[in-house]
Amino acid sequence: MAQTVVKIDKLVKRYKDLVAVDHLSLEIFEGEVFGLLGPNGSGKTTTINCLLSLLSFDKGDIQIFGKNMSPTAYDIKKDIGVVMQNVAVFDQLTVYENIDYFCGLYIKDKAQRKKAVEDAIAFTGLEDFVKFLPKKLSGGLLRRLNIACGIAHKPKLIIFDEPTVAVDPQSRNKILEGIIELNKQGATIIYTSHYMEEVEQICTRLAVMDKGRVIAQGTIDELKTNVKCSETVTVEARELDEQTLSEVKALEHAFETSYESGRLTVKYTGGKHNVVRLLNTLQNKNIHIGRVSSEQPTLNTVFLELTGKELRDKE
Amino acid sequence: MQVYKVFMKILRSKMGIAITYLAIFLFIGIYSANNSPNQGNFSENSAGIVVNDLDKSGASKALIDYLGKTNKMSEGAPSDREMLDGIYYNPSRYYLTIKEGFEQRLADGETDGILAHAAQDGSYYESLVGSKIDLYLTTAKAYIAAGNSAEDALSKAAEALEKKTEVNIISEKAEGFAQMEGYFKFIPYIFLSVFVFALCPVIMAMTKTDIKNRIFSSSISPKRFLLENALGALSFMAVVYLLVIILIPVFAFKTDITADMKIAWLNCLAFTVFCASLVLLISNLVSSEPLISLIGNIISLGMSFICGVFVPLQYLDGSVKTIAAFLPAYWYEILVSALAGTNGQVYSTSLAVKCILIQFLFAIALFAATLAVMKAREAKTTHNA
Ligand SMILES: Nc1ncnc2c1ncn2[C@@H]1O[C@H](COP(=O)(O)OP(=O)(O)O)[C@@H](O)[C@H]1O
Ligand SMILES: [Mg+2]
């Protein structure tokens, strides 16, 4: 088994009466792209800030690289790269100067740093903007600068806290590809997001958070096989009567049926030919059928089952 | 020195405003320093003397002539009540009574009890006229001892003393520093402005929550971070101090480095330290740059107006002065006036120590306030032990 890079044990963080992180335990291994998925306010950033010792916490243990993390654990911090949720760069410094500053907090040697900064610029595709002030950058470029500042010193563990918020799709893809590339080069990644598609796209393993708790943990496949709902079929069909609906409900593997404004949704716990069987049932009744779709479970399904809420991309 | 380097880089973006302020100040400072000395001092050093001459002798006439050279003279025999009112409403009023037998007793070598006076007790003008008369009579006594008549002795004494410049007689203090008073007076305004407008935004930029979090997740220690920031701020203050307080007076004005000048430097140093504390407090309390301009202006202009930076202290209302005493610029200005011998201030070492000490105390108080603010903040988002 790969080495443990981060181990969080029963972390509790309160803000007065609000429990922002509630007995959270995680183990992250070397070489992983670990996702922390949860809606806004679920405690992702708080967890990251505790992990980095930027916040004090009420209970729990945090180990990184097998050592106890603390505000003064500089030997640990030097191998961590951080890309904060809020862009943290100096408005008065150019793109190059910003990257050089943050890189310089880790790498003292000038020649070595110059190389590292240039690598980071090339990696994030900021070559044409090195002399720009952050104000002049678009949202996507600004995020890329934020990333360049966090990774220039070539850390072993990189934490990305919602790095794609307010970013155009093109920049978003570039950022995600970049993260995978960093992982290929050997970095362990922690990636927080409230976009399930992103997490599905890049994470090897993830924890789903809600209200400060981890409500599910594992690989994406593991999470999906654990859900009750294995398939959701939606059919557009007008004027279904009670009789038909109860026949649909009685179909094998179907466990939940709903019919609203001409859309019939049936959820299945398993089985192979659910769509065919459903369509046959409807056709036998001479019901006119519109569009039909079948969805495999997504992380949203997982989230929905665990919390009763949708995890949708809302900003 | 990564943090220090960036501090200076960001500071560079504030240099435009700093240089503008300094240039305007230097213009005003140099202008007022070049235009004030003689005229200004003459009027400051002249009192309105009302003489009641009961002797009506040649000697009393000589004394009146002598005083008339540097003061506005008038004759009269006011009642006690009138004299009290007079000095109450006019601090530069001096009532002199030349007693009967003045000439005779002076000829006998007697100087005690031959004159009487009424003036604001312990005021600048009381000591100004008093010391002038003392010096005059003492000199005359020497001539009488040498065999001159009282009248001759007095006119010879007047001649002898005239050779000395007016400034010398009045106050030994004034010599080196008086010509620089106009320049040094403006320092509080310019230092408050330049330091607040240039340094506060930089400190704010360096310690913005997001940036600070980012920096403290790196391997730099908070102590080192603080130290390099402090070093950045101090080096800017040191450069401004050196340039404005030492280099320009010494090389542009060619002032002598007298003991007074050194006291003035110390005075400025105390005020600079106060500014440092203020800058620290403001950058901890305020979170937006426009607000910094506003607060900076309120503090620098407000403090300057009520503490006598723009308006001489002597023209300020009593209640304003009472408020001003709770501001360090007031004590700075008191010492500047005392060094120059203006505004009714008389220099003494204890006054200098007091003024400088009070400014340092203000600095310490603000520093303590800043620490309290930081503590209160940290209570919200502390590091764990
Ligand atoms: N400094 C703070 N003081 C009080 N409550 C906070 C503070 N920071 C975050 N919270 C609360 O803690 C919860 C978790 O926030 P956060 O960790 O930022 O969530 P996420 O990053 O998942 O969006 C939220 O309910 C938020 O309102
Ligand atoms: Mg967050």
Q: Encode pLDDT of A278-288 as tens digits.
A: 888 888 888 88
Which of B2, B10, B382 comes nearest A56 by C-beta? B382
Residue range(s) defining the domain that contains residue B206: 2-38+173-384
In chain B, the number of structural domains is 2
B5 is written with which tokens?
């380097």
- Enter the pTM of the model: 0.72
Statement to judge: residues A206 and A150 lie in one domain: yes
Q: Is residue A307 part of a domain?
A: no
**pLDDT beyond 50 at B14:** yes
pLDDT value of position B42: 42
Statement to judge: residues B148 and B177 lie in one domain: no
Q: Is ligand 1 within 6 A of the CB of residue A218? A: no
Q: Is residue A25 part of a domain?
A: yes
Statement to judge: residues B210 and B273 lie in one domain: yes
Neighbours of B208 (CB within 10 A): 17
Statement to judge: residues A157 and A92 lie in one domain: yes
Amino acid identity for residue B95 in this structure: Y
Q: Encode pLDDT of B166-223 as tens digits.
A: 444 344 444 567 778 888 888 999 999 999 999 999 999 998 888 989 999 998 888 8
- What does the alpha-carbon distance between residue A54 and residue A31 come to, in Å, rounded to a whole number? 25
Q: pLDDT band at B273, cuts 50/70/90?
A: very high
Contact A71 B383 (CB under 8 A): yes
Statement to judge: residues A46 and A74 lie in one domain: yes
Statement to judge: residues B254 and B374 lie in one domain: yes
Statement to judge: residues B151 and B19 lie in one domain: no
Q: Is ligand 1 within 6 A of the CB of residue A42? A: yes
Statement to judge: residues B54 and B178 lie in one domain: no
**Nearest one of B204, B169, B221, B215 to B41, comparing CA atoms:** B169
**Best mutation site among A12, A13, A15 for ligand 1 pocket (most ligand atoms within 8 Å of CB):** A15
Statement to judge: residues B126 and B230 lie in one domain: no
Residue numbers in B near A101 (CB within 8 A): 2, 5-6
Scanning every residue of chain B, which has its alpha carbon at the shortest distance from the alpha carbon of A52? Answer: B217
In sequence order, the β-bridge partners of residue B117 are: B96
| pLDDT means over runs of 10, chain A (315 residues) | 88 92 93 92 94 91 93 92 93 94 92 94 93 92 94 94 88 91 94 90 92 90 82 86 85 87 87 86 86 85 78 53
Statement to judge: residues A14 and A147 lie in one domain: yes
- What does the alpha-carbon distance between residue A258 and residue A256 come to, in Å, rounded to a whole number? 7
**Nearest C-alpha to atom 7 of ligand 1 is from which residue?**
A15
Q: Is residue B85 part of a domain?
A: yes
Which of B5, B13, B217 comes nearest A82 by C-beta? B217
**Domain boundary residue among A195, A225, A255?**
A225
Statement to judge: residues B213 and B341 lie in one domain: yes
Token pair 């001092």 is found at B41
pLDDT value of position B34: 65
Statement to judge: residues A218 and A174 lie in one domain: yes
Q: Find all residues with CB under 8 Å of B106, minimum gap 6, and list them.
A: B59, B114, B137, B140, B141, B144, B150, B153, B154
- What does the alpha-carbon distance between residue A130 and residue B193 come to, in Å, rounded to a whole number? 34
CA B377 to ligand 1 center in whole angstroms: 17
Residue range(s) defining the domain that contains residue A259: 228-296
Say which residue, B381 or B242, is predicted with more confidence.
B242
Q: Is residue B43 part of a domain?
A: no
Strands ordered across the beta sheet of A18-29? A18-29, A4-15, A59-64, A67-68
Statement to judge: residues A210 and A269 lie in one domain: no
A260 Cβ under 8 Å from any chain B Cβ: no
Q: Is ligand 1 within 6 A of the CB of residue A40? A: yes
Statement to judge: residues A160 and A237 lie in one domain: no
Statement to judge: residues B149 and B195 lie in one domain: no
Most confident of B1-5, B66-70, B117-121, B328-332: B328-332
**Nearest one of B372, B216, B223, B225 to B284, comparing CA atoms:** B372
**Nearest C-alpha to atom 3 of ligand 1 is from which residue?**
A15
Q: Encode pLDDT of B290-344 as tens digits.
A: 899 899 999 999 999 889 888 887 777 888 888 899 999 999 999 998 888 777 7
Q: Encode pLDDT of B138-160 as tens digits.
A: 888 878 887 888 888 888 888 77
In chain A, the number of structural domains is 2
- What does the alpha-carbon distance between residue B255 and residue B101 come to, in Å, rounded to a whole number? 48
- Read off the pLDDT of each residue in B264-273 and give the average, rounded to a whole number: 95
